[in-house]
């Protein structure tokens, strides 16, 4: 079963890593648009054009589904991608609905493009949740993650400054609305009150994948992964190995 993961950079590895725990015998393709990351500070038109090009490329590799492992690309471009491509496209939207099931108020962290996007506005309107969701753009974390900077003083100060804009005890959950933010759960955990639970969209995304491709649940044998960095095939190098190791450590943090 050949399935592609697409992200602006290496945030989407958090979705791939979880897929490696759940499924066997798959041929995964991971595409990081490393020449154009970050997407979150670009315009809707730019993000759409970049996403369409990347997904056309992935569709040409005869994948059975493309996971847009990027909330930003989903926000800006998912409708256009679905309209233009025959392959099933699974998007990722910040898991606000889930967060509001378990807490009265939540903090939604995402990129600027996701936070300012019409898709999020529509979602909050549908859920009648504008008053219950505090929005926080954390573009700095995308840069930190791409530079493999996880535990520095700069990361800590950045997160302390941004999260402390809110009266944290008023919130029961924090939505990780950008796949790059999964790398920073340890530092966030130290800053947030104990009762604040992390919510990400990874589980829902992979459940959707198994609904669309039920045979994925019964695959046997090792998974194979190929990596592409902006259309160039690349090997699992030291950077990718470091990122996957980091994600393994972050999986345990709730
Ligand atoms: N990882 C992406 C997301 O989930 C976006 C990061 C970026 O390129 O700004 O939104």
How many angstroms separate the CA atoms of 6 and 96, rounded? 22
Q: Is the pLDDT of residue 235 over 90?
A: no
How many angstroms separate the CA atoms of 68 and 89, rounded? 7
Q: Confirm whether residue 75 is marked as ligand binding.
A: no
Task: Write out the H or E segment, with its range, that includes residue 136.
Answer: strand 133-137
* Residue from 5, 6, 9 to probe ligand 1 pocket by mutation (most atoms less than 8 Å from CB): 9
Q: Confirm whether residue 40 is marked as ligand binding.
A: yes
Q: Is the pLDDT of residue 236 over 90?
A: no
In this prediction, residue 248 carries a pLDDT of: 97
Instruction: Report the catalytic residues.
Output: 70, 178
**What's the mean per-residue pLDDT of the chain?**
97
How many angstroms separate the CA atoms of 164 and 139, rounded? 16
Residues having CB closer than 6 A to ligand 1 are 7-9, 11, 37-40, 70-72, 111, 114, 142, 178-180
pTM for this structure? Answer: 0.97
> Tokens 């960095």, residue?
229
How many angstroms separate the CA atoms of 158 and 152, rounded? 10
Q: Are 63 and 87 in contact (CB under 8 A)?
A: yes
How many angstroms separate the CA atoms of 35 and 8, rounded? 9
> Tokens 């050949």, residue?
2
From the CA atom positions of the chain, what is the Rg in Å?
A: 17
DSSP string, 77-112: HHHHHHHH-SS-EE-----HHHHHHH-SSEEEEE-H
How many angstroms separate the CA atoms of 101 and 151, rounded? 31
pLDDT, tens only, 57-101 = 999 999 999 999 999 999 999 999 999 999 999 999 999 999 999
In this prediction, residue 185 carries a pLDDT of: 98
Domains, the chain, in order of start with CATH, read 2-91+202-251 (3.40.50.1860), 96-199 (3.40.50.1860)
- Helix ranges (DSSP H) in the chain: 13-22, 44-59, 71-84, 96-102, 112-116, 118-126, 139-146, 153-163, 185-191, 202-212, 238-251
pLDDT, tens only, 129-154 = 999 999 999 999 999 999 999 999 99
Polymer length in residues for the chain: 254
């Amino acid at each position: 079963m050949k399935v592609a993961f697409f992200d602006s950079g290496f945030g989407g590895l958090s979705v791939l890593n979880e897929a490696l725990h759940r499924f066997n015998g798959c041929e995964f393709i991971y595409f990081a648009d490393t020449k154009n990351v970050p997407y979150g500070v670009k315009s809707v038109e730019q993000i759409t054009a970049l996403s369409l090009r990347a997904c056309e490329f992935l569709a040409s590799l005869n994948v059975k589904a493309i996971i847009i492992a990027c909330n930003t690309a989903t926000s800006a471009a998912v409708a256009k991608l679905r309209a233009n491509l025959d392959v099933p496209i699974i998007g990722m939207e910040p898991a606000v609905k889930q967060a509001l099931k378990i807490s009265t108020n939540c903090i939604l962290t995402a990129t600027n493009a996701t936070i300012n996007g019409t898709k999020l506005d529509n979602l909050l309107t549908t859920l009648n949740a504008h008053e219950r969701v505090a929005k926080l753009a954390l573009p700095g974390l995308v840069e930190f993650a791409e530079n493999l900077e996880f535990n520095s003083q700069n990361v800590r100060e950045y997160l302390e400054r941004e999260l402390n804009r809110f009266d944290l005890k008023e919130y029961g959950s924090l939505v990780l609305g950008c796949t790059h933010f999964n790398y920073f759960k340890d530092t966030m955990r130290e800053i947030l009150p104990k009762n604040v639970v992390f919510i990400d969209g990874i589980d829902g995304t992979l459940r959707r994948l198994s609904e669309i491709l039920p045979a994925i649940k019964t695959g046997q044998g090792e998974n194979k992964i190929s990596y592409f960095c902006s259309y160039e095939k690349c090997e699992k190098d030291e950077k990718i190995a470091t990122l996957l190791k980091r994600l393994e450590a972050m999986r345990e943090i709730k």
